[in-house]
Amino acid sequence: MRALVVAAPGRLTLETRPRPQSAPEGWVLVDIARVGICGTDYHILEGNQPFFEYPRVIGHELSGRIAEDAHGFRRGDLVTVNPYVSCGKCRACLRGKPNCCTNIAVLGVHRDGGLAERLAVPAGNLYPADDLAPDQAAMVEFLAIGAHAVRRSRLTAEDRVLVVGLGPIGLGTALFAKARGAEVHLLDANAERLDALKGDFGFTHTHTLADGPQAVMAASGGAGFDVVFDATGSARAIEAGFAYVGHGGTYVLVSVVKDEIRFLDPEFHKREMTLMGSRNATREDFETVTAAMAGGTIDTAKLKTHAAHFPDVVAALSGWSADRRDIVKAIVTVAE
């Protein structure tokens, strides 16, 4: 079978590997249909991904069809894949937080992922996607990260929210904050992206970095925001984001960066701020996204902006990595 391997930073190869014919006990063979390309994949290609070892088959935003009857699934069933393989035994897992598993192995990051024609996946990490199209099922995972961050924040319709960084993860976060009825403000360096989000998704409060911090704070009435989400992937932006959190507010770090993050403790305590990390997603978040897609709350047609077929993936991914300004979500078709 074909598999896309990142051999080292900047080195992509489409290799031929043996096609798996059997799965370990409790696992299921899945014939991959679609793969969404994520910021993590770009970071891996660029050499900026923490907790990563080369070479690796990348790809963790996955949809596929069951290869053979197993564990209640029937051959040909469309599924979406939760790529966070947890141990089920550590304290986090036993307390219902498998997304924080001590021994977590993320497909496409810690172990080979889904930019291949077939993959074995734990049965518990496969969720039915019969009500979705293959493209949609491959977009569930990245939206689930935003849905998880919003659920973690416990925001309500009474809250004024700022989402900083409007890549796919930030957009997903903004969409689910908006779905909860909150007043959602967007902040990004890319003015063209913000204009597109206004038209495509109905966001009315948008700000560019060029506007300056004072203008952003003025949009909050000067009081700051009740909940701020960072999805920039930038340590500098994360540090700047503390200033936007209002008194009694919550700061949710959806981004993962390699750097140390510093903040001024007197300001942190003065506001009795809550600083919160948000990691991955759980089955509940995947089900929230699947229901939103099936119900039409999330318009997935507007999310998919770029596409390629598997034989062309090396050139396509190299090009997308070089210039991501206009990309919301790129989808690779592995099989129909």
User: For residue 307, what are the contacts with CB-CB under 8 A and spacing of at least 6?
Assistant: 330, 331, 332, 333
- Cα dist from 168 to 15, 36, 62, 186, 209, whole Å: 28, 11, 15, 13, 18
Reported as a single tens digit per residue, the pLDDT across 186-239 is: 999 999 989 988 888 999 999 999 999 999 999 999 999 999 999 999 999 999
Give the N- to C-terminal CA distance of the chain in Å, as an integer: 15
The yes-or-no answer to whether 2-130+303-333 and 144-277 have a common fold is no
Greatest pairwise CA separation for the chain in angstroms: 61
CATH 3.20.20.70, domain 2-130+303-333, yes or no = no
In the chain, what are the domain boundaries?
A: 2-130+303-333, 144-277
Q: Give the Cα separation of 330 and 164 in Å (integer).
A: 21
Which pTM was predicted?
0.94
Reported as a single tens digit per residue, the pLDDT across 115-158 is: 999 999 999 999 999 999 999 999 999 999 999 999 999 999 99
CATH class of the domain whose range is 144-277: alpha beta
Q: Give the Cα separation of 231 and 128 in Å (integer).
A: 28
